[in-house]
Structure 1
Amino acid sequence: MMKRIVRELLVDVNSFEDSKKIELVIDNPFEEIRCDKPISVQLFLYKEKDSITVSGKVSTTVIEPCSRCLKPVKLQIEGNVEALYVNQSKLLSKSRSGPVGELDNTFLLSEDILDLSDRVIEAIIVEIPLKVLCSKDCKGLCPVCGTDLNENPNHRCETPKEPQDKWHSLLYNLKENIIKKDQ
């Protein structure tokens, strides 16, 4: 997967003295996420002698499948960006003597150009729940035939007597043997 470059999220560290503000709205250039509306980005960069602190907010609406019925669900996302870019030589010396290397949001500043695209993607992805539901009482899909149980609440599917493939057949036989032993 090739990463698309978002020119507005490339920052020349020599283009500002103390701080820089980035406010933009971009159509989704990222393959990792599916958005329903453009991504709003507000970032603040603060430059110190050997580091640049990046903070801000990212907002959009993403589309994720429901974990039970697979219907698309729109989620409003309000993510935070927090990162510290440290000069390569300072990171190495400080990481040996202190906690700088232990921070999850500390990155190496090895070039004069910062690509903040990854920070924007992270801010969005971190806010997406692990289990997305279209509603808290979603009934999901029939495990046998895949019928949507929300649309067909009275659906009853006959479980096939014997599975068609070898793997499921072995499980079916194991289940039958356990049932016979318990009787």
Structure 2
Amino acid sequence: MKNEDQRVLDPREPLVVDVHDLSRRPGSMRELDLDVAAPADLGTVVIGVPQGSPLELDLRLESVMEGVLVSGNVHAELVGECARCLEPVTDELDVTLTELYVYPERAKSAQEVGDDEEAEEVHELVGELLDLEPALRDTIVMALPFRPLCTPDCQGLCSECGVRLSDPGNEDHHHEILDPRWNALKALTGEESPEQES
């Protein structure tokens, strides 16, 4: 169980939703459209949703026996860097969010019967408020590309000099790498090694 029963939520926060009209009324439902600024830490080291950028949430809140089920779509803009050449990458992300916010007594009963796995996976309602941020973070981070690329055929960087291989004119870029153990043979034939020529 996520330690949300110890938290105090601020209803003025943009991702905290008051579900007073749905609480304890199974079968009732309402739709919620939110345009909010993205919170911090919605990403990985290489790509993510920049803090403060627009997040669009088109959600449906349904009252069920266990609590309130939140489902819908999330749209966000991504910014990061290419995993091969380190060039800036921008993209858009559309993901489906589905999260059940359970009543505290339901979470406690799952703990009492020893269902630790179920208790670990749920978020709790805090009074008649729910916090979308943790579920949103889990959903977005899991949907991010593991290795974002600037283009699908990005060639990356030269391992010797760091030049970007996908840039025009670098298609045939290469370095002649000679094993230093061959230098003795080059000396016998009178040829200079590339290191000596330079």
Residue 7 of structure 1 is aligned with which of 9, 13, 19? Answer: 13
Identity of aligned residues (%): 28
Query: Against the structure 1 CA distance between its residues 59 and 29, is the aligned structure 2 distance closer, same or farther, given a 3 Å change threshold?
Result: same
Mean alpha-carbon deviation: is it higher for 139-148 or for 41-50? 41-50
Structure 1 stretches lacking a partner, 5+ long: 163-183
Structure 2 stretches lacking a partner, 5+ long: 1-9, 43-47, 181-198
Report deviation, 1:106.
2.1
| More relative contact order, 1 or 2 (CA 8 Å, 6+ apart) | 2
SS in 2 for 1:85: strand
Report deviation, 1:124.
2.3
Report deviation, 1:104.
6.9
After TM superposition, the structure 1 = structure 2 runs for residues 100-139 of structure 1, keeping only pairs within 5 Å, are 101-102=117-118, 105-139=121-155
SS in 2 for 1:92: helix
Report deviation, 1:85.
1.3
- Tell me how large the CA RMSD over aligned residues is: 3.2
1:160 & 1:24 partners in 2: Cα distance?
A: 61
Q: Does 1:26 align with 2:36?
A: yes
Number of residue pairs matched by the alignment: 158
After TM superposition, the structure 1 = structure 2 runs for residues 22-171 of structure 1, keeping only pairs within 5 Å, are 22-32=32-42, 33-35=48-50, 38-94=54-110, 97=113, 101-102=117-118, 105-151=121-167, 152-157=170-175
Q: What's the CA shift string for 1:20-76, capped at 9, x where partnerless?
A: 322022233334333596221111111235411111110122122111111122222
SS in 2 for 1:80: strand
1:12 & 1:44 partners in 2: Cα distance?
A: 13
Give the TM-score normalised by structure 2.
0.64
1:101 & 1:73 partners in 2: Cα distance?
A: 37
Larger of the two Rg values belongs to structure:
2
1:104 & 1:75 partners in 2: Cα distance?
A: 32
Whether the 8 Å CA contact 1:100–1:106 is kept in 2: the answer is: no
Q: What's the CA shift string for 1:67-115, capped at 9, x where partnerless?
A: 1111122222111111111122222324555979438752223443211
Tell me the residue number matched to 1:169.
Answer: none
Give the TM-score normalised by structure 1.
0.69
Higher helix proportion (structure 1 or 2): 1
Query: Against the structure 1 CA distance between its residues 39 and 159, is the aligned structure 2 distance closer, same or farther, given a 3 Å change threshold?
Result: farther
Amino acid at match of 2:58: Q
Whether the 8 Å CA contact 1:91–1:100 is kept in 2: the answer is: no
1:59 & 1:66 partners in 2: Cα distance?
A: 21
Whether the 8 Å CA contact 1:84–1:105 is kept in 2: the answer is: no
